[in-house]
């Protein structure tokens, strides 16, 4: 009897790019891709953290380089991708949040959150996909969304708007790109403890309210997302497109 073989989670001979890769989730996802064999480009606006991250990945036996790029500068994004060989994997991770009650949200808040979380994500994906299509490269686009792209939350009207929109964007992109063998999915985590979120958890009442909703009883860690991104990026997820992998400890189950 010939048994079926599990498709590989390895990413050897593939090129990956991760935005917002200087710390937290972005750095962890870059490290996961490199550990699986991909050559990873770490992108952020400031160079120090991504250089440190690239060196750490290299010291661990991976291949990585740091590229300073402001993904809100859409012309710079177009120019960068036009000058590079096609990537096989994009992790659209750069994002921000400005928690406010909806009556306190300013136009500047709206532009900052929607501009980075949605507009930049859209045009980074477009520039990456254009190169893949031009070179006949098949691969995977992974957009880092949130459980807040599936539910609502107090003081999160802007963030929810951006992440719900990202879900719709990814589904429609998946339909456009399927004929080219390019997949598009979102990775939607619960609250992950990172340098960006840690100050929120200094409020005991807020932390308690979050833990009450996460049915597994703990905050997420960046390591909880590393296997998920490999599944979406690799041959193991070859038939997965236009959907969301929700890593939320049960938050959205009720």
Give CA–CA dist 142/140, Å, rounded.
6
Distance CA 188, CA 186 (A): 6
The answer to whether 93 and 120 are in contact (CB under 8 A) is no
Q: Give the whole-angstrom CA distance, residue 53 versus residue 24.
A: 11
CA 56 to CA 34: how far, in whole Å? 11
- Burial zone of 56 (CB within 10 Å; 0-12 exposed, 13-18 middle, 19+ buried): middle
Contacts of 64 (CB under 8 A, 6+ apart): 30, 34, 39, 40, 41, 42, 53, 54, 57, 58
Cα within 13 Å of Cα(132), Cβ side: 27
Measured between alpha carbons, how far is 140 from 93 in angstroms, rounded to an integer?
14
Report residue 241 CA to chain centroid gap. Answer: 15
Residues annotated as catalytic are: 159
CB neighbours of 173 closer than 8 A, spacing ≥ 6? 125, 129, 141, 184
Dist CA 126 CA 173 (whole Å): 9
Please give the span between the terminal C-alpha atoms of the chain, in angstroms, as a whole number. Answer: 43
């Amino acid at each position: 009897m010939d048994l079926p073989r599990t498709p590989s989670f390895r990413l050897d001979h593939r090129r990956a790019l991760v935005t917002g890769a200087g710390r937290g989730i972005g750095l962890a996802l870059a490290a996961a891709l490199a550990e699986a064999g991909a050559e990873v480009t770490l992108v952020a606006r400031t160079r120090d953290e991504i250089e440190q991250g690239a060196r750490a990945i290299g010291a661990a036996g991976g291949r990585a380089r740091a590229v300073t790029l402001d993904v809100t500068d859409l012309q710079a994004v177009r120019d960068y991708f036009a000058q590079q060989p096609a990537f096989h994997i994009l992790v659209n991770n750069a994002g921000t949040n400005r928690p406010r009650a909806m009556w306190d949200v300013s136009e500047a808040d709206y532009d900052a959150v929607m501009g980075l979380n949605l507009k930049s994500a859209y045009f980074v994906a477009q520039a990456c996909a254009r190169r893949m299509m031009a070179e006949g490269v098949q691969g995977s686009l992974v957009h880092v969304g949130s459980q807040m792209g599936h539910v609502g939350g107090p003081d999160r009207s802007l963030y929810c708007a951006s992440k719900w929109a990202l879900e719709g964007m990814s589904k429609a992109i998946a339909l456009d790109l399927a004929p080219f063998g390019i997949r598009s999915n979102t990775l939607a985590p619960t609250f992950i403890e990172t340098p960006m979120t840690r100050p929120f958890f200094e409020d005991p009442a807020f932390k308690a309210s979050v833990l009450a909703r996460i049915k597994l009883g703990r905050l997420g860690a960046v390591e909880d997302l590393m296997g998920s991104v490999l599944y979406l990026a690799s041959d193991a997820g070859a038939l997965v497109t236009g959907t969301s992998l929700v890593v939320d400890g049960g938050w959205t189950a009720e």
